[in-house]
Amino acid sequence: MSVPPWLSTPVLALQRALAIAVVVAQGGIAVTGSIVRVTGSGLGCPTWPECFEGSLTPVEHPEVASLHQWVEFGNRTLTGVVGVLAGLCVVAALLRLPRRRRVVVLSLVQFGGVVLQAVIGGITVLTGLLWWTVSVHFLVSMGLVWAAVLLVASLREGDGPATPVVPRPLLTLQVVQAAVLGLLLLAGTFVTAAGPHAGDADTPRLDAPVDSLAQVHADLLFLFLGMLTALGFALRATTSTPELWRSYWILVAVVLAQGALGVVQYWTGVPEVLVSLHVLGAGAVVVATAALWTSSRTRELSVQAPRVERSDTTSGALTHSA
């Protein structure tokens, strides 16, 4: 069956909009998940995939408040929204001709990640919000946020091998920095697991001193900041693009803001609203770190790949020609 002409013409602006929407949605669902936790709504829907036995939606129940039901149900509904957006990314990647393998793969990662998250979420509910299942749920979300940023970047790149725009030792530094970020996020989940916001009053907590865990979390933040500072000095000694510097300073600003928020959160006794803001900040740090990662590399156009280039370095507008 022949493909209609309007489908064979790449709709780059639509693909980019969908990819950006996935970045926002993947980060946003982590925030709504934190709202579920701080409101004690983690078992507002005590079964999965149904909310209650025999009902996909909340129902009046003498032992579960309606607020808790709707908060948890809203978070589950958002999973469906993320899934639709990821599915549209896959469809757009498959319909765009010539088809680009990297874009297709990264789109499939998003869709598969949503399915995986639905399963992890179900396990979390069915195990009564065991702290380590909640940690895995959050960490997978952050991984999908990173992959979504790569998807956005892939739409302005070619399909050739990645070529560094900075000296290779700085790429190695970024790899280590990404690993430290992963440990920083992991330590943050431990602090939350031992803290006061369990998602449900009867959920067992991580039996570890919160102060010690918070200190480890802070130490990893200082390590991350130190590596970021070292990267900045190294970039000054090399030829760096304006996009790279812009990504760098955005990351510095986001990390400093997140660190300040964490200090205030600790000093004020971990108020609910700051917990959700801190989760939002964690997602922002992941986005900014991934953006710096993509700015440090470029991919040449292959023979089969459509030509994609920036037409306006200020606005980042994209043009396409086959």
| DSSP-derived 3-state class of residue 179 | helix
Tell me the pLDDT of the chain averaged across its residues: 86
| DSSP-derived 3-state class of residue 22 | helix
What is the distance between the terminal CA atoms of the chain, rounded to a whole angstrom?
22
Under 8 Å between Cβ of 268 and 134: no
**Looking at residue 172, what is its pLDDT?**
94
Distances (CA, A) of 300 to 81, 161, 168, 170, 275: 34, 7, 17, 20, 42
Q: Choose between 271 and 303: higher pLDDT.
A: 271
> Would you say residue 215 has pLDDT above 80?
yes
Q: Which of 124-128, 148-152, 176-180 has the lowest mean pLDDT?
A: 124-128
| DSSP-derived 3-state class of residue 155 | coil
Distances (CA, A) of 204 to 52, 137, 193: 22, 17, 9
Q: Choose between 145 and 8: higher pLDDT.
A: 145
Residue ranges of alpha helices (H) inside the chain are 5-8, 12-38, 66-95, 101-126, 131-154, 168-194, 210-236, 242-267, 272-295
Q: Which of 127-141, 156-170, 191-205 has the lowest mean pLDDT?
A: 191-205
Mean pLDDT value across residues 299-319: 46
Q: Which of 138-152, 194-208, 243-257 has the lowest mean pLDDT?
A: 194-208
Under 8 Å between Cβ of 59 and 90: no
Confidence category of residue 302, pLDDT binned at 50, 70, 90: low
Mean pLDDT value across residues 231-254: 90
| Per-residue pLDDT tens digits for 48-73 | 888 988 888 898 887 778 888 899 99
**Looking at residue 112, what is its pLDDT?**
97
Of the ranges 45-54, 215-224, 234-243, which is most confident?
215-224
> Would you say residue 320 has pLDDT above 80?
no
| Per-residue pLDDT tens digits for 108-143 | 999 999 999 999 999 999 888 888 999 999 999 999
